[in-house]
Amino acid sequence: MHMRVAGEPAGVIRMSPISYRLGTGALHALDARFKFVILIVLSLSVVKAGALHLALLACGQIALLSFLGCSFKSLTTELRYLLVLLLLVFLVRAFTMPGEAVFRLYWLSFSRQGAAAGALIAARMLLVVLLGTTLVITTRPAEIKAAVEWFLKPFPGLPAARIGTMFGLLLRLIPLLSVQFAETMDAQRARGVENRINPVYRLTWLAIPFLRRSFSAADRLSIAMEARCYTDDRTGHRLTATRRDWLVLAVGIVYGIFVLAT
C-alpha cells in the first residue's frame, strides 16, 4: 500500500500487491533471465519436494515477500480465491483417502494420511504462486520483456520483439485494469447503484463502463506508441549478467536438483 499516488483519495486506489515495486535489493539487481530460469527450476522441483523442503522454501518465500514490502494481509486478500481452493483440495483429500481415522463426520472419516497428502499438495500449489509473485514484484516489466525476447530469439518464425512487447504490456495492464475496475465500482456506488436490487442491472453497469474505459485506454496507448514511432527493432533494456548472477543461478539449480534427488 506504500505505492499510493500522492493526492489520490484513500480507498480509490487499491494497489494490487502483484505488480512491480521499486527496490534496490539483491533480487531487484539480479538479471531477469536468471530469475526466469531459477523460477522454472524451483517450481519444477517444488512439484516433487517433500515436507521439509517445502517448509524451508515457504519460510524463505514469506520472509522475502514481507521484506519486499508485501504485507501478509494484502497477500491473503489478493490470493483469497486460491486459499479457498487450497482448503477445498485439502478437505477433499482428507475425507476421501482411506487411512487411520482422526474423527468421523456422519459417514465420512477424516484420515490422517489424507490430511498429510492434502496439506502437501496445497503447500506445493501455494509455493509456486509465491515464487511467481516474487518474480513480478522484483522485476521491471521492461526487464521481463527483454528476458522474454532473449529466450524467444533462437526460435525461427516467432516475432520475438513483438511478443516481448505484448508480454510487457500484459504485465503493465493487469495492475492498471484492477485500479480501473475499483474506480468504476466506486463511481457506480457514488451514483447509488446499491439501491438497485436487480443483479443483471448492477453487473451490466459495472462491466460495460469498465470494459469501455479499458478499451479507450488501450486505444490511447496504441496512439501514444505510434506517435513515438514505435517499431519492433528498437533498442530495449540491456540485460547484463554478472558473476553474482551465475553464482545465484548455480545455487538455485543445485538446490533444485538436491530437492528432486532427495
Partner 1 sequence: MTDSHSLRMSVFAALFAALTAMGAFIAVPIGPVPIVLQNLFVMLAGLLLGPRWGLASVGIYLLAGFCGLPVFAGGQAGIGRLIGPTGGYLIGYLPAVYIIGRMTRGSDHRLLREAGAMVLGTLLLYACGVSWLKVVTGLSWTKALAVGMLPFLIGDALKIAAAIPIARSLRPVMQTEVPAADPMRMETAGRTGSTP
Give 116 or 183: the residue with its C-beta nearer to partner 1. Answer: 183
* Distance of closest approach, residue 102 Cβ to partner 1, in angstroms: 26
Q: Which is nearer to partner 1, 27 or 125 (CB)?
A: 125
- Grid cell of 60 as nine digits: 524463505
For the bound state, the minimum distance from the C-beta of residue 47 to partner 1, rounded and expressed in Å, comes to 5
76 contacts: CB under 8 Å, gap ≥ 6 = 83
Q: How far is the CB of 83 from partner 1 (least distance, A)?
A: 9
DSSP three-state, residue 30: coil
Mutual angle of helices 32-48 and 112-138, in 10-degree steps: 180
What is the C-alpha radius of gyration for the chain, rounded to an integer number of angstroms?
Answer: 22
* Nearer Cβ to partner 1 (128/239): 128
C-beta separation of 94 from 32 below 8 A: no
- Taking CA atoms, 247 is separated from 36, 58, 60, in Å, by 15, 22, 18
How many CB atoms neighbour CB 37 within 10 A?
Answer: 17
Taking the complex as a whole, the smallest distance from the CB of residue 213 to partner 1 amounts, in Å, to 5
Supply the DSSP symbol for 234.
-
- Whose Cβ is closer to partner 1: residue 20's or residue 243's? 20
User: Least CB distance from residue 29 to partner 1, whole Å?
Assistant: 20
Give least dist CB 236 to partner 1, A: 16
Q: What single-letter DSSP state applies at residue 194?
A: G
For partner 1, the closer CB: 231 or 243? 231
Look up cell 516475432; give the residue. Answer: 159
Phi, psi of 155 (to 5 degrees): -85, 120
Q: How far is the CB of 207 from partner 1 (least distance, A)?
A: 7
- For partner 1, give the closer residue by CB, 81 or 107: 81
Which of residues 5 and 103 has its CB atom nearest to partner 1 in the complex?
5
Binding residues vs partner 1 (CB under 8 A): 18, 36, 39-40, 43-44, 47, 78-79, 81-82, 85, 125, 128-129, 131-133, 135-136, 148, 162-163, 165-167, 169-171, 173-174, 176-181, 183, 207-208, 211-219, 221-223, 225-226, 230-231
Do the Cβ atoms of 147 and 84 come closer than 8 Å?
Answer: no
Q: Are 99 and 114 in contact (CB under 8 A)?
A: yes
72 to 66, 68, 94, 117, 217: CA distances (angstroms): 7, 11, 27, 25, 32
